[in-house]
Structure 1
């Protein structure tokens, strides 16, 4: 069950809020439609419910707000637009990646594909799916974690009739199994056909909350609302004229002085009333219970000394009233143009009532049905000298009869009680705070499937190997290149070798693709900055960088051996130290790309940070480290051993010395400084977002 209370969006500048005091309920085992025209506030309501937008209000999903649920994806499945997956990823790969994020077995992907009839398209790329297939994939993504509630924003927009029916059948099947389904739509016929309950929004307010059967009967048919003291006589005349002209017109007597005419226009009814000299107080086009100008008509008529009349069964359904409205006693009101006259809700005189009934019977005999809705109930007579009952005792429709008062129908009625001096009351709902998406429950498994699910990494790796091999051959042909730089294909003119640039690009893509195609946070559009996800990305990017570095060095050696023989392909004597420095350089570039892309939310920014290390940071480090300090760092392991009085096992001092020698190099020191700065900035941003 979903319970929404007082959802209100924040106003923009001097404009009123797009959503104002929206409250409704969505029951389990039923499909509920949130209906409204474009701009009515449907999407805003859903975003406020899901805590994706700042505002006020409270929404409970089975008794708990969303931020109190440990794993929201297992409680609420959301689809607010197109599926934001990478276009090069397959349907099965995308769902398996989401299975890792939701912490469910990988077999769940095949189950949801079968349930939404996507099993035959499991190897199709997301970029090649049609609109209908994309919507089915969105439903499958929402069902991966097996949630109890589904919240969809216009799920069948721009779909064919066949695809729309298929999607609604899937939503109905979820509701039949006991789930809760809420979807928004701008099509009244779709809401009446596919939903069990319909909540109607107009200009950010709830104007109707009713069963689909009542909605189809009352709000799908345009009508003309007529208020006249001679309702029975006018209804009979309209029915008789429709019979004579052979037109399909239905006249419904809704009680008191109100008529609802279906199949006619304001002009025809006004002309008929004018010809027969019948006084008309209101004549307005409506769609169901609330039409344009309905509230204005009530206020203007009350100001003229008329009456709002007895509310009909349809009005009571829209207002949430179950019992019929009581009939008020006769009250004489002064008229601005003449002596006091009785209100339209007063019992008419015997003669006029009999005449109206005879006219109504004549209309029925002419063949037009004029149903009459009677209002039952009694009320205590008003006290002498006080023609209006107290405000607390009036119904919303009776309040409209008092001059200068406006009764708002179709939304939650607010009662404003008079407070004693010195007392205060807060009627504002609690504020809604936007929180970041939770981290994947299996971050390492998620990152591996994300990296291997698309061909970008393989293409970048192949390009790096080809460029590196070609550059090694060219450097060997030119000559005067040290053996270590020859195996790395690193000319002095370039800031970094191709393998290091490729590792940095792959590291930047690991976070850049998340922001470009936010499959992990499809409803929020932002990737959660969580330490678990960052650790998984650093581990995977380091592994990829090491593999790329080994392949690049091995490929260069084989190509040099093929072109120039064993002399240029021999392994240097200090290969361990050179290998450690080579691996540290490539892994450092990959990590710099990961951290910069996660910090600046862009792949380009991540790659720029990698290139900036040798171009900008290295010259600065060289200026700082010029002097004797660089020479004294070589004996650091021996001095540490002397201080700690311990021996390094397995000759560990040699490896420590090599690592320190790499660090004290200009590129190594610059890379260490850059990684430390980026990591601190990333952690600071993460803590800042959590504090907010």
Structure 2
């Protein structure tokens, strides 16, 4: 059950807030639709509910706010916008990554793939999926953790009628098993057909909170859809007869040869067309739109039962809805009753759903809200057939919290696409070519030659590559709402940061030693053994080299996590030698009365420690690395970035 109280977005300068004091309930076992035109505030309401946007108000999911839920992804399944994932990632690889993020068994990926019908496409890339397959994958991501509540933002947008029917069937099946379903839509007829409860938003305010049957009766206006090659003539005849009989009939000319007749019935329109010999290709009594501004109503089949004779002679009617445009009138009054001048209530004209595949020449498979010209039943809202799509089996045993869960997620995130491997290959090639050119020019020390680090560049290629891989570490979480780092599948916690730092450090060390080995081998092949010799002080040089590449990788990770931008992460890496090193170097070279000469010896005297295996040498090497301007600047930058990251994390938790 979802309970939203007073959701209000922050004001926007001189404009009112996009959402103002929105309160509603979405009960378990029911499908609830949040209806509104484009710009009504539907997506903002969802973002406020999920704490993805700052504002006021409270939202409880089964009695608890989202911040009090230990594992939000196991309680709430969210689908907002496109499917969150890198276009080069495979369908199965993406789901396995999310399994690691949510802490569910990896076999769950295959279970949801089978449930949504994507088993044959499990090795396809996300960027190659069609719109319908993309929505199926999105639903698989939502169902992966077996959540109780589903929150979806316009899930059927751009889908065919058959795909829409399948999607809403899955939502209905989830609700029938006791779950809560809340989805947004801008189409009134879709809400009436597929939901149990409809909440209508207009300009960020709730204007109606009704059951679907009541919504269809009071807020959807019945009309007669007509398609004829003589639309202008028939419209004039209908208007003339209405004036003669002093009846309130409104005829709206749609695109092409279509008419929408309000305040009349199929029988009356058909008799008028028959008396005057007007050829009619379609005649259907249906539930129309919500009035001006509602826009065209999708899901209305353009085709109907065709006939080449005037209406009224046998086969002059059809059971599908016409494509309707915007009506001129029809909003309900404040009391909830439609404003029809003829005084007839909508349920006197009625409608019943046309079942999938019947009377639908265009291959239409979804249910329609409309009735045949011979029907006279009251307004009803059609429901999906009894045979609903199967859901994936429930997760009976959930894995206990493990410190390795963020590490598994980060490992699958990093290895699921080829970006890291291509970056490493580019670094190795660039470093080898640079080393060959430096050796040809000469006057380059052996240590810089093996690292391919000319004095003119602030950083060697390996350090820049490590910084780039670190900056890419937070890309997926910030580009896609379902992996939002504040309140999403992967929360912004220290466990995630630790996992990213560990993976970045291991990747940077591997890249550093591969670079040195590749440079040494290329130098040996081109110039001989002389330039490939290992320096005498290789131990301290290795410590300095490792500290440089790992520090650059960590700087990229922390900066990207702090500023939520890969570009900012890479800029922070380059800023260390360009901006911070000169400042540190100037501070160290400044005039001073005393210097810290003999500090290592005095430290050994104070601590009186005998390090095993000659560990004091490694400690002295680390101290020498940090004492250098580059090492000191890097350590200072990492400390500042880490403190800023922790500060923003604490602020997000307090909020």
Deviation at 1:141? 1.4
Deviation at 1:52? 3.6
Structure 2 CA distance for aligned equivalents of residues 100 and 646 of structure 1: 43
* Corresponding residue for residue 528 of structure 2: 565
Q: Secondary structure at the match of 1:4?
A: strand
Give ranges in structure 2 of 5+ residues lacking alignment: 225-240, 250-261, 270-287, 292-328, 348-374, 379-400
Deviation at 1:157? 0.9
Structure 1 CA distance for aligned equivalents of residues 404 and 593 of structure 2: 45
* Corresponding residue for residue 295 of structure 1: 334
* Corresponding residue for residue 551 of structure 1: 514
The alignment of Structure 1 onto Structure 2 pairs a total of residues equal to: 519
Q: Secondary structure at the match of 2:484?
A: coil
Deviation at 1:17? 5.0
* Corresponding residue for residue 647 of structure 1: 610
Structure 1 CA distance for aligned equivalents of residues 29 and 519 of structure 2: 64
* Corresponding residue for residue 176 of structure 2: 176
Matches within 5 A, 1:205-604: 205-222=205-222, 262-263=263-264, 291-292=330-331, 294-295=333-334, 442-517=405-480, 519-521=482-484, 529-604=492-567
C-alpha distance 495-151 of structure 1, shift in aligned 2 (>3 A): same
Deviations, residues 449-504 of structure 1 (Å, cap 9, x unaligned): 11111111111100000011111111222222222111111112221111111111
C-alpha distance 606-193 of structure 1, shift in aligned 2 (>3 A): same
Deviates more, 1:461-470 or 1:506-515: 506-515
* Corresponding residue for residue 574 of structure 2: 611
Deviations, residues 659-679 of structure 1 (Å, cap 9, x unaligned): 222222222222222222222
Structure 1 CA distance for aligned equivalents of residues 194 and 142 of structure 2: 19
Deviations, residues 621-654 of structure 1 (Å, cap 9, x unaligned): 2222227989976743322221223322222222
TM-score, normalised on structure 1?
A: 0.67
Q: Is the 8 A contact 1:84 1:522 kept in 2?
A: no
C-alpha distance 14-94 of structure 1, shift in aligned 2 (>3 A): same
Q: Is the 8 A contact 1:518 1:526 kept in 2?
A: no
Deviations, residues 136-184 of structure 1 (Å, cap 9, x unaligned): 1211111111101111121101111122122112212212222111212
Deviation at 1:548? 0.1
Structure 2 CA distance for aligned equivalents of residues 156 and 287 of structure 1: 20
* Corresponding residue for residue 118 of structure 2: 118
Deviation at 1:196? 2.7
Deviation at 1:682? 2.3
Q: Secondary structure at the match of 1:294?
A: coil
Structure 2 CA distance for aligned equivalents of residues 643 and 213 of structure 1: 83
Structure 1 CA distance for aligned equivalents of residues 15 and 480 of structure 2: 33
C-alpha distance 447-297 of structure 1, shift in aligned 2 (>3 A): closer
C-alpha distance 177-643 of structure 1, shift in aligned 2 (>3 A): same
* Corresponding residue for residue 88 of structure 2: 88
Q: Is the 8 A contact 1:41 1:204 kept in 2?
A: yes
* Corresponding residue for residue 152 of structure 2: 152
Deviations, residues 251-291 of structure 1 (Å, cap 9, x unaligned): xxxxxxxxxx94279xx9xxxxxxxxxxxxxxxx9969x95
Q: Is the 8 A contact 1:545 1:587 kept in 2?
A: yes
Structure 1 CA distance for aligned equivalents of residues 427 and 491 of structure 2: 31
C-alpha distance 2-311 of structure 1, shift in aligned 2 (>3 A): farther
Structure 1 CA distance for aligned equivalents of residues 522 and 594 of structure 2: 37
* Corresponding residue for residue 198 of structure 1: 198
Structure 2 CA distance for aligned equivalents of residues 124 and 291 of structure 1: 47
Structure 1 CA distance for aligned equivalents of residues 549 and 413 of structure 2: 21
Give ranges in structure 1 of 5+ residues lacking alignment: 225-240, 250-260, 269-284, 301-309, 315-367, 372-437
Structure 1 CA distance for aligned equivalents of residues 336 and 466 of structure 2: 70
Deviations, residues 3-62 of structure 1 (Å, cap 9, x unaligned): 334445555456555445544432322222223333344333333433444444443322
Deviation at 1:208? 4.1
Deviation at 1:528? 5.2
C-alpha distance 213-677 of structure 1, shift in aligned 2 (>3 A): closer
Structure 2 CA distance for aligned equivalents of residues 154 and 522 of structure 1: 22
Structure 2 CA distance for aligned equivalents of residues 516 and 475 of structure 1: 40
Q: Secondary structure at the match of 2:439?
A: helix
Q: Determine which structure has more spread, i.e. the larger CA radius of gyration.
A: 1
Structure 2 CA distance for aligned equivalents of residues 17 and 481 of structure 1: 63
Matches within 5 A, 1:21-100: 21-100=21-100
